Structure 1
Amino acid sequence: MSLQAAHAAGLSEAAPAESGHVSLWQRCRRWMLPLLGVAVLGLLLSHAHKVDWAGAWQALQRYSPWLLLAVLGLCTASHVLYGCFDLVGRRHLRHRLPWWRTWAIAVTSYAFNLNLGSLVGGIAMRARLYARAGLDEATVAQIVGLSLTTNWLGYGLLAGGLFAAGVIEPPHQAHIRHGALRVLGVAMILLALGYVAACAVSRRREWVVKGRRLHLPSARIAVTQLALSAANWALMGSAMYLLLGQQVPYATTLSVLLAASIVGVITPIPAGLGVLEAVYLALLSGTVKQGALMGAVLAYRALYYLLPLAGGLVLYLFLERYAAEAEELTPPEAPVASA
């Protein structure tokens, strides 16, 4: 028996057990996330009558137009900065798509990602728009991977620093001790810095994963990723800080926002609907009046989620029309003459 045949036979024997474990995990994961979402929704609905909605409406009415304009400026700056994440991928991969089109695709997908979920916005929307622009699947996959890495690098650095510093006190319902949260924070910082260090000193610059070649960014690009992401999360925290009337220290405001963001990611609810509100109520209800707290969260949702979605829709229609016009102007390939 040849080595190839023996290898194939070994794979065939191990395949049933391995595929059984994989299929079992896939089935469990398929049901676990929706059940978690239903549980969260049920918990929110059961407490909805306890929320001071009248106080929230009054808080919204008390906001001055200048304050809302300032917050909208911060939210816009955050979305603009997020668009630069894909420009990092453009520089690293050296694809020939114009910078403005790359940026517009990233901003559009981010707006849809926030409101419709990562599968629709972060992946499907990007894949369609980049494919219409002429990029191949391997390049698109690396762009998406670099963008995700950029986003969570800054998150890990900021959240890790805040958790390690003990800025946020976990609620009793979380069943996590203060010391454990500090250890988690240190681990997050080391993971973010470890990525930068690996980009700087690693001798191996290329890996093959499922037939696709992945190139490790340079140290300069890694530092750029970290700086862009940290600045983006800081802008988001600044928007909430202003909406809360500066009643809560900025570090605490940012910590709660970071905690709400990760809960929103693991909970399969579009736009994290209700999750953001629940986390803020759980962590800040004893610091800020419930009406003012809910008013701030609702204003943040409108300015950071809903208004950019309208802008993202306009950009999406523009990109689709631009791609269609470009296809019409592209001359068809000449047929190959047969011998």
Structure 2
Amino acid sequence: MRTLWGWTRKAFPWLLAVLVLALVARQARAVEWVEVWAAVQAIPARQLVLATSLAALSYTLYASFDLIGRHLTRARISAGRSLGTAAISYAFNLNFGSLVGGMAMRLRLYTRWGLSAPTVAKVIAYSMVTNWLGYSWVAGAVLLWAPPRLTESWVSSDLLLLQTLGLAMILLTVVYVALCFFSRRRQLSWREHRLELASGPLALLQAALGGTSWLLIGAIVWSVFAGRIDYLDVLGALLLAAVAGVLTHVPAGLGVLEAVFAASLGDLLPVAEVLAVVLVYRAIYYLLPLCFALPAYGLSEAAARRRRRTRPQDGAPA
């Protein structure tokens, strides 16, 4: 029985990924891409400017998650360097996956500023907790009060089940915050890893920042829709797409994001218009920041090489 459970646990994410990707492929074959491109061109410039401004604010907010880890680990790095490292890593994370951006890029950049690998791992962990803590209560509230709709081509979900899941996600956030306020044990342990528990007020800040981040990302997509779809419907589709992207392990959620939005909102607007908005959102939130992150990373590499060349050799006069 234990062997069967172990096999099932390993196989389930892959089976789910195959299912989602099959749905993506079916959706892609049914799309008239000429109509999608025409819908992209019809989006007003003012909506693009608004969405770009919101994206810049969102990146700044997400980068601030690392400041919480910087505080709790007492990392000896300036706030500016921490924000810059987090912003560059976030752009790589969105486009190339969490292993490249969220972990490898952060590790490379932070260690160059003198942080140890264990400290960097803790900073990453605190950032992830902040992000998914915010996701938990925002998604829980959406499932409880405004669950995302799916077209008939997707599996229909029981309303009571979704609301129960939403309540459970909100309670998970409450439990974490209560633990931070009242637990006498101030360290969380897993195998040989230990993580200091945040204080109660800091846990509330984590929940607020993480939730605001997801609400702001939803506002980016909603602004491109120009109010033609209710904000909660857009937010629900975004939250669903985020989980689908994580489960399928597809870099940048390529195709998955588009398929989930088409399935969730295709009965509210023509699918071509929904996909046009998602493609514009991808360009603004994924690709445009990468255009800045790539040269910023290149400059960081060049600066690191200069520091190595000018650093005094062991035994040489400084």
Separation of aligned partners in 2, 1:324 and 1:25: 47
- Which residue of 95, 107, 123 maps to 2:87? 107
**In the alignment, residue 111 of structure 2 is paired with which amino acid?**
A
1:38 deviates by 4.8
Larger radius of gyration: 1
SS for the counterpart of 1:60 is helix
What is the match of residue 276 of structure 1? 257
- Return 5+ residue gaps in structure 2 as ranges: none
Matched, 1:220 2:188: no
What is the match of residue 117 of structure 1? 97
Deviates more, 1:180-189 or 1:134-143: 134-143
What is the match of residue 266 of structure 1? 247
What is the match of residue 274 of structure 2? 293
Matched, 1:73 2:53: yes
**Aligned partners of 1:154 and 1:229 also within 8 Å:** yes
**In the alignment, residue 152 of structure 1 is paired with which amino acid?**
W
1:298-318 Cα deviation digits (max 9, x unpaired): 101111111111111122122
Matched, 1:234 2:200: no
1:115 deviates by 0.8
Separation of aligned partners in 1, 2:295 and 2:73: 28
1:68 deviates by 0.6
Separation of aligned partners in 1, 2:99 and 2:20: 20
What is the match of residue 117 of structure 2? 137
**Aligned partners of 2:73 and 2:119 also within 8 Å:** yes
1:21 deviates by 8.2
Separation of aligned partners in 1, 2:123 and 2:176: 17
What is the match of residue 314 of structure 1? 295
Structure 1 residues 327, 200: CA separation in 2 closer, same or farther (over 3 Å shift)?
Answer: farther
% of aligned pairs identical? 39
**Aligned partners of 2:27 and 2:259 also within 8 Å:** no
**Aligned partners of 1:75 and 1:303 also within 8 Å:** yes
1:325 deviates by 3.1
The alignment covers a number of residue pairs equal to: 315
TM-score by length of 1: 0.86
What is the match of residue 127 of structure 2? 147
**In the alignment, residue 97 of structure 1 is paired with which amino acid?**
I
Separation of aligned partners in 2, 1:307 and 1:99: 24
1:52 deviates by 2.7
Separation of aligned partners in 2, 1:225 and 1:246: 29
**Aligned partners of 1:52 and 1:290 also within 8 Å:** no
1:118-165 Cα deviation digits (max 9, x unpaired): 111111111121222221121111111101001011111111001011
1:207-226 Cα deviation digits (max 9, x unpaired): 44333332111112211211
1:176-220 Cα deviation digits (max 9, x unpaired): 311000000001011112111111111111244333332111112
- Which residue of 326, 330, 337 maps to 2:307? 326
**In the alignment, residue 114 of structure 1 is paired with which amino acid?**
L
1:61-100 Cα deviation digits (max 9, x unpaired): 1122222111111111111111101011111111111111
Q: How is 1:161-240 mapped onto 2 (pairs within 5 angstroms)?
A: 161-171=141-151, 173-240=154-221
Separation of aligned partners in 2, 1:21 and 1:131: 41
Deviates more, 1:263-272 or 1:122-131: 122-131
SS for the counterpart of 1:73 is helix
**Aligned partners of 1:138 and 1:212 also within 8 Å:** no
Structure 1 residues 48, 213: CA separation in 2 closer, same or farther (over 3 Å shift)?
Answer: closer
Alignment RMSD, CA only? 2.4
Structure 1 residues 161, 208: CA separation in 2 closer, same or farther (over 3 Å shift)?
Answer: closer
- Return 5+ residue gaps in structure 1 as ranges: 1-16
What is the match of residue 128 of structure 1? 108
Deviates more, 1:49-58 or 1:263-272: 49-58
Deviates more, 1:67-76 or 1:324-333: 324-333
What is the match of residue 283 of structure 2? 302
